[in-house]
Every structure is written in structure tokens, then in C-alpha cells.
A and B are shown apart, each in its own frame.
Chain A
Amino acid sequence: MVRASSVEIRKVNKFYGPFHALKDIDMSIAPGKVTCLIGPSGSGKSTLLRCVNFLEEYNSGEVLIDGELIGYETAGGKKMSSRRLREMRRTIGMVFQQFNLWPHMTALQNVAEGLIRVRGMAKSEAEARAADALEKVGLGDRMSNHPSRLSGGQQQRVAIARAIAMEPRLMLFDEPTSALDPELVGEVLSVMKALAAEGMTMVVVTHEMGFAAHVADKVAFMEQGELVAMDEPANILHHPEDPRIQSFLRTYHERNSF
């Protein structure tokens, strides 16, 4: 089992110029829990997820990882040192919609790079660990391939291996399967399921309602920068009370039926 972090989001606001992208978001995620963020396009899901590792700077409120404020020295105070921020980010893995693998490195190098540069490991040790991580996502036989020689599903699994090799206590996923052909979605989701079963805290922005229904402990629905509801999957996905959720799910089901 992994040592998992908690995430506490309190009254977080984010502005892009005059545009209010996140409105007083409150969210509490216990260690080892899986939370799926759903909602229409432009509702602020990615923005919120990126505030958790401070890739996006929130303007007010607090984001606490294991009780520790990320991004600022004190709530509403000045920014934390970049060194301290880097230390905090080491324990937070992130997986992107577009994989963002480094194309000039092999799969193994992509995974080993952070262990060498960030964790300061010797190359041989880093590569041994990277190989373990790639085995774990089922890519033991693809380690010397460059990303351009891998399918989308394989690339995304390398990206997951790159994150888990750093031994994070929290994993953030921003639509990890949205760029994949339908037949490749399953292999990525099953790696994520295995990770959840190990007790990793996960925050997952997704349109995969099946994953949300079966794997998530909580599902959060966002719309226009607001957190509309956060509850057990069944209460959000099967019998939602809020009309905004009902209409979102209706659109979703219409699009997915033929």
C-alpha cells in the first residue's frame, strides 16, 4: 500500500483577468480516496485540478496537501519559494490529456529522468526503478521505444509510469483517456484501477462515467466555476437531485447512445 496524501481545498477562487473561473471551491479528499471531477466543458475542472499542484496559481483560498499549504507561505500571503514548491510537487504525480512525454527520450529515459534529476539517483538505480514502473503498467517490452513509436494508450501508460516512479502520494489525472481511440481507453483505465486499489489518493477529471461509477469514492460535479455537488457516485450519476446534473447526464447519455 502507498502512503497517501489528503487534499483539502478551501474557498479557492481563480480569475483569468475579469473572468471568474473558480468560485469559492471547497473540497475535502481523504487519503487513499478516488475523486472524479465531471462537468461540462469550460466548467473549471482542469483549472481546479491544476491548482492542486500549483501549475495554475489560485488567487485566494487555500489548497492543503496533507495539511500543508501549497503555493503560498501563508493563506493570502506571498508565494512560497520555488524550491519549496518543487519539493511539494515531488509527491504529487500528474497525468495530462496529451501525455506530454518528452519525444527525444525513450520510454525508459522518460521515466528515469525525474529520478535522476529530481531525486538525485544514480543512472543505473534510476533505470532499474524506471524499468519496474514500466513493468507495472505492462510496458516491460517497450522500454527502449521513443514515444513516437508507441500507441496512444502505451504513451499514456508511460506517462503514468513516469509519475508513479517518483513515488507520489497523490495522483492528478486530467482527462487521461480523452485523446485515445476508444479501443485503447480500457488499458489505461485498468492501470488506473490498479493504482486506486493500492490505496493511492487520486483526483481524476474524466468523461468516463463507467470509471466514475465503479472506481470513484466520490464524484464532484462542476459547472461555470462552481462545485455544484460532491457525493457518492450513485447519488450524482444515478439519481441526482440538481437539475444541472440531470441535464448534463441527459446530454451525455444522448451522445453515447445510438
Chain B
Amino acid sequence: MFSWTTFWESFIPLLWAARFTVLVSGLGIVLGLGIGALICAGALSPWKPMRIFAALWVSFLRGVPLLVQLLLVYFLLPVIGINVPALVAAVGTVAICASAYISEIWRGAINALPRGQTEAAKAIGMAPLSQWTRIILPQAITMSLPALINELILLVKASSLVSVVGILEITRASQAQAATTFRPLEVYLAAACIYLAINLCLAGVGRWLEHRMAV
């Protein structure tokens, strides 16, 4: 028999654990957007060493699973004498991993802009900085929104991986809860509901933003 009591009661520890899920994926995306912008600038830079660095950054971080990256960071940092709290290591790794995908999303959006957009700006004598802030970025950011929301949703789900460095986020908390209640079905169903609720909210916010920014 399905135990509604266990199902409802599971929400208390799981929602408490959800703060780590939200923190890791939220901070991960915010920092990832910043680092991703820098990497994207590197990829588009006229300076070849920068382009090579950006290309290596993207290939490595996209080519190695986040789980492996987390374990590498977790075991590597103490070896080289750096002791940071697990949460900091987790957020940092998630952000750096996300930056690779985000920089590609932005690079794609910027390259998709027709050349005539900047030519029209150059033809009236607009300076490069204004071309970027007024013409290129506003359009590229709007265009990249759906892909960025998608990336954020992937991050929320991927944040369950940070449990390997000992952070008690939703998935890890539900494992613990399932073990103590002997009711895995109820507990995991509650976990699924929480993930779904978070991601539906994100998708809603994304829709709203897209709608607001559409011309």
C-alpha cells in the first residue's frame, strides 16, 4: 500500500535539502554566466592564444563528465594543499563546467547575427563598444534565452551529482530518507515532485522573459 503519510512527511527533509540544490545550481549558473562571457570573449578574440585557450577550456569541460570533474576537484585540491569547504568546491566546479556550455551558447547566438547588423552600425560611425552593447548583445542575449533556461534546468538535475562530495542535496537526502523509512517509492516520488516544481518554475520564468524581450 502506498503510504500517503510517508509521502507527505518526506517533503520536510527533502525541501530542507533542496536549499543546496537551489544554491549549487543557482550560484553555478550565475558564476557560469560570468565565466562563460569571458570564455566567449576569448573565443571571439582576434588574439590567437586566447582563442586556443577558450577552445581547450570548452573541449575539456564538455568532454569530461561533471561527476568526474567533481571527484577530481575533491581529491586534487587537498593534494596541492588547498582546503576549501565541499560546498565551495562543488559550486566552483559546477560553475566552471556550466561556463563551457554557456560560452558556446553565446558564441552561437553572436555568430548567428547577420553581418549587416554590425555593418549598419559601422556605416554610421558607431564605435565598437556601442556596437556590442547596443546592437550585438541585446539581440544575442534574447536569442540565447531558451538555450540558457534549458542549461539551467539541466544544471538543477545535474546538481544531484554534488552529493559525491558529501553535500546533502535532494537526491542524497531522499536516499537517506528511503533507508530510514523503508519506503523508497514514496520518498523518491516526493523528490521527483520537488525537482519538477523547481524546473516548471524555471521554465515559466523563461517563457515570461522570452515574452517580455520579444520584439
Contacts and interface: CB of A to CB of B under 8 A. Distances in A.
Interface of A: 53, 55, 82, 86-90, 92-94, 96, 98, 100-104, 113-114, 117-118, 146, 148, 159, 162-163, 166
Nearest to A55: B119
Contacts of A159: 120
Nearest to B135: A102
Contact of A117 (B116, B120, B130, B138): B130
B120 A166 contact: no
B121 to A, nearest CB: 8
Contacts of B122: 55, 89
Contact of B125 (A102, A103, A114, A146): A114
Given A117-B130, A146-B215, A148-B215, A100 B124 contact: no
A63 B215 CA distance: 40
A114 B138 CA distance: 16
Query: Which of A82, A89, A100 neighbours the largest number of chain B CB atoms within 10 Å of its CB?
Result: A100
Contacts of A93: 123-124
A152 B139 CA distance: 21
B123 to A, nearest CB: 4
Interface residues of B, number: 19
Interface of B is mostly: helix
27 contacts: A53-B123, A55-B119, A86-B125, A87-B125, A88-B125, A89-B123, A90-B125, A100-B114, A100-B120, A102-B117, A102-B120, A102-B139, A103-B139, A104-B142, A104-B215, A113-B134, A117-B126, A117-B127, A117-B134, A118-B124, A118-B126, A118-B130, A146-B215, A148-B215, A159-B120, A162-B124, A166-B124
A96 B124 contact: no
Given A117-B134, A148-B215, A100 B125 contact: no
A103 B215 contact: yes
Contacts of A163: 123-124
Contacts of A148: 215
A239 to B, nearest CB: 37
A255 to B, nearest CB: 27
A96 B126 contact: no
A114 B119 contact: no
A102 B137 CA distance: 12
Contacts of A92: 123
